[in-house]
Chain A
Amino acid sequence: MTMIRPEELSAYLDGELDPGRAAEVARAIAADPRLSESFRAIGKLDDRCAAAAEAAAFLPDVPALSRRSQRSRLPQWALAGAALLALRGGVRLIDTVSLAYGLQAIALLIVLALVLRSVGDGASAMD
Chain B
Amino acid sequence: MAEADSYERALRPLLRQAGGYARGILQSRADAEDAVQQAALKGLERIAQYDDARPFAGWWFAILRNCCIDMLRRRARAATVPLDGHDPPAPDQPEPFDLAQLEAALASLPPTQQEIVRLRYHGGLAYADLAEALAIPRGTVMSRLHNARKALARALGEEIP
Contact = CB atoms under 8 A, between A and B. Distances in A.
A29 B24 CA distance: 33
Contact of B121 (A50, A61, A68): A50
A58 B158 contact: no
Nearest to B32: A60
Q: Please classify the interface of chain B as helix (H, G, I), strand (E, B), loop, or mixed, using the class held by over half of its residues.
A: helix
A14 B127 contact: yes
A17 to B, nearest CB: 9
Interface in B30-58: 32-33, 36-37, 40-41, 44
Interface in B125-161: 126-127, 142-143, 145-147, 149-150, 152-153, 156, 158-161
Interface residues of B, number: 49
B118 to A, nearest CB: 8
Interface of B: 1, 4-5, 8, 11-12, 15-20, 22-24, 29, 32-33, 36-37, 40-41, 44, 96, 98-99, 102-103, 117, 120-122, 124, 126-127, 142-143, 145-147, 149-150, 152-153, 156, 158-161
